[in-house]
Each structure stands twice: as C-alpha cells, then as structure tokens.
Amino acid sequence: MTGALDGLLVADFSRVLAGPYATMLMADLGADVVKVERPGTGDDTRSWGPPYSADGDATYYLSVNRNKRSIVLDLREDADVARALIARADVVVENFRPGTMDRLGLGYGRARELNPPVVYCSITGFGAGEGAGLPGYDLIAQAVGGLMSVTGEPGQGTKTGVALVDVITGLHACVGVLAALRHRDRTGEGQCVEVSLLSSLLSALTNHASAYVAAGEVPAAMGNRHPSIVPYEVFPTADRPIVIAAGNDRQFAALCAVLDRDDLAADPRHAANAGRVEHRESLVAALSATLRTRNADDWFTALSAAGVPCGPINDLAEAFDLGAHLGLAPAVGLEDPRRGRPVDQVANPLRLGATPPAYRLAPPRLGEDDAWVREILGR
C-alpha cells in the first residue's frame, strides 16, 4: 500500500525529540525524510545512553528516527547543499534557537525565495520574541509552564516520567505541517508553521489551564487524585495498587455493588459526584478498606466485568504484554541488513484503513545515506 504522504520530501534539520518525533510520524506515513546531522556527533541523542541496543545504538535515538535517511552537513561549509535540499523539499523542519537558521541563510525568508510552495516548520522553546534566548529543554518547559506544579504530591514539584512536552510539541508540529500541506494543495501557497514548547504545554494542560483562564483558579498538585471526580485515583489492594476511575453515578453504583458496599451507594452524601468530592476523605477510606481484601488482578477482572473503569499499575513490560494480548501489536521489528538483525521499535499508534503507517527503514547510521541524498539533489 502507498502511504498518505508518499511523494513528499521532508528536510529535517531538527534534533533530540520534538522535531524528530514529528518527522518520524511523517516518515511512517510515507514521506521521504532526510535527516541532516552535524559532522562527528550527529544528533545529540546518538550518545544519550545507556541503555543501548544489541548493536550499540542509544535506544533514545532509535525511538524517534526510523524511516529516515541521514546526511552529514556542516551548515556553514555545506550551506549550498542544505539550500539545494530546501529548494527540493516539500517540508522543512528545524528546531534551532530562533535566528540560527536565518544567520546561516537557511531561514524561512530564504527558503521561500528558493522554494515558494515550501512548508517551513520552526519549533522553539518559547517563541521567537522575548523568549528567544531561553533554553528549549523539556524539563525547563515543565517547570516554568506549570506542569510540575500540578504533578506529584502537593508542594514537591514533580516532572513527568517522560519528556511529555517535547512529544506534545512534536504532535502539534506534525498537525500544523499537515494543515499547511492541505492549504498548499488547495492554493499552491506555502507558509511558515511555528510551534513552541510553552504554548503546546499550556494547550495540553486542558482542564487545568481552563480552570485558570475561565475561573481564575490556580490548580495545585493532588498526587494521584482528580480535583473534580471521586473516586478517581490509586487504591491499595492485597498485593499491588489499582487505579479506579468511576466518572459517573452509574459507575460508582456498579463499583459499590462489586465491593458489596451498597451502603456507600445508598448514602445521600454520595448520590452525586459533587457530594463525593466534598466527602472525599471518608469515602476513599471506606473504599480502600474493602479493596485491601483482594488482590489487584481479582478486582480488575470483577470490576471490568461490571463496567467500572480500572486497571493495575503496570510496568512497561506488563504494559506491552497487555497491548499484545489485546491485539494492538505495540511493537514491530524492522529488518536491517546493515545491522544484521531486526531493530525492535514501538509501533506507530495510528490505524488507517487505506494508507497505514509503514516501517521501511531502520534508524540510519550517521551519514549513511549521503550518496543517496546527493544523487536525488543532482537530478
């Protein structure tokens, strides 16, 4: 099958996570992505280990660079090659500090002169204005963007376990590029797509951000609890914790029935969610006392059968096992004769009936496609 983005050439000047994640999604959907890397070291994540694969590759790098081709360019000495690539590309993606690509003669203004229909995506930490000098690191964005203030236990300020802001920004970048391509299909006009870590995070904070913007309320960390729903948190069992998310009155009544605690459902204080939020402490204590009497898997089976959203807290091995058990095929192996063995990858989560994601190329060695790229630029 052909990919939805077959025929598109993406010049990827980005590195680390947000940009490479966005371009990998495009590559999975059929685009030809040329990854431009610095001489000697390449993408920073090539050295971000351990852990390493069996072939000695940093697994961080492997996570966001499949289906791409690598060329090594010094953007000062090889600017003519970089400009030739931009002139040929449908999409350009970069995440340098604001102004860097302009100083190199590779910014959007120059790209538009070389290639008027080009879609040029610029990813920054905090925009190209007053925030241009701020370092665009995910951890910094989590801190100053409010995410750490609502994560973890009260007063501690906790980051998420993955560079979530980079991933969210990469998704926004990909959506922006696809929207710009749709506009180009209709009008023939290219445009510049700009996305920042801070703006992406504030948008992704959804209900918390809305609480502040619409009601003036500043949310705070509540650990594993939800500010507006009860019960919606982690509970102890006889062996390991379980999450229960009873988001409406019917689910709460079903939970109480499985736990043989109809008295809790019949209590007028718990008839509606607002009352359950008001009486959170006593209700959670009562539920916890009963949940401690059986193990998590028993409760998971019984509660799921009754339509109560719940699940044990899995580690990643258990999570991938669950995905496989459910038929979601969460991992794939890419054949790679260059390495002599398959490269295991996390599967693209999209399912498209006519143009599904494809796994054509394992993450490239540094500069291994130099001849291929120069050959297509020379045609």
In order of their start, the domains of the chain are 9-204+327-377 (3.40.50.10540), 242-312 (3.30.1540.10)
Range with the poorest average pLDDT among 164-168, 225-229, 272-276:
225-229
User: Could you give the 3-state DSSP secondary structure of residue 315?
Assistant: coil
**What is the predicted pLDDT for the residue at 336?**
87
74 catalytically annotated: no
N-terminal to C-terminal alpha carbon distance within the chain: 26
pLDDT greater than 90 at residue 335: no
From 166, 249, 260, 298, the catalytic residue: 166
Sign of CA dihedral 62, 63, 68, 71: negative
Stretch 339-344: mean pLDDT:
87
Cα(109)–Cα(184) distance, integer angstroms: 17
pLDDT greater than 80 at residue 1: no
pLDDT greater than 70 at residue 215: yes
Q: What is the pLDDT of residues 234-287, one digit of tens each?
A: 999 999 999 999 999 999 999 999 999 999 999 999 999 999 999 999 999 999
Stretch 280-304: mean pLDDT:
96
Cα(245)–Cα(234) distance, integer angstroms: 9
Cα(26)–Cα(3) distance, integer angstroms: 10
Share the mean pLDDT of the chain.
Answer: 96
Cβ atoms 303, 310 nearer than 8 A: yes
Q: What is the pTM of this model?
A: 0.93
pLDDT greater than 80 at residue 355: yes
Kindly give, in sequence order, each residue whose CB lies less than 8 Å from that of residue 57, ignoring residues fewer than 6 positions away: 46, 343, 363
